Amino acid sequence: MGYVYIFGTILFTVYGQLIIKMRIGNYGSLPSESLEKLFFLIKLFLDPFIFSGFISAFLASMCWMAAMTKFELSYAYPFMGLTFVLVFLFGVFFMGESLNIYKLLGLSFIVLGIILASKG
């Protein structure tokens, strides 16, 4: 059951990152004036999809707390590297983000690190 909590943490984290990135583009750039920044951020927060990203972050935290009752931190935490992998892949394939050899190498090192850490 502990792996379900880790998977939930990863799933909710990835969802939150992707939905916020997808929706933020609808609002333009952050204004330079302080008061305008505040109103801009409030407007973003009131977007139902962006708000769902915050709820997703909360649910990810709840799953993580449950996972911590089942595993040592040094064992569970490397799995969080999968969030980098999944966000990267979804960004490339569904959001048209750039892909190059350096990003692929970095991603490969992350995956290798997850594999090595999970063996220990």
pLDDT over threshold 90, residue 1: no
Q: Where are the domains of the chain?
A: 2-119
Whether pTM exceeds 0.85 = yes
Model pLDDT, residue 117: 85
Contacts of 39 (CB under 8 A, 6+ apart): none
What phi and psi, each to the nearest 5 degrees, are found at residue 56?
A: -60, -40
Q: Which residue has the tokens 């977007």?
A: 47
What does the pLDDT look like over 3-15, one tens digit per residue? 999 999 999 999 9
Per-residue CA distances from 117 to 10, 26, 67, 78, 87 (Å): 17, 39, 17, 6, 20
Q: From residue 7, how far is each of 37, 43, 83 by CA, in Å?
A: 35, 31, 10
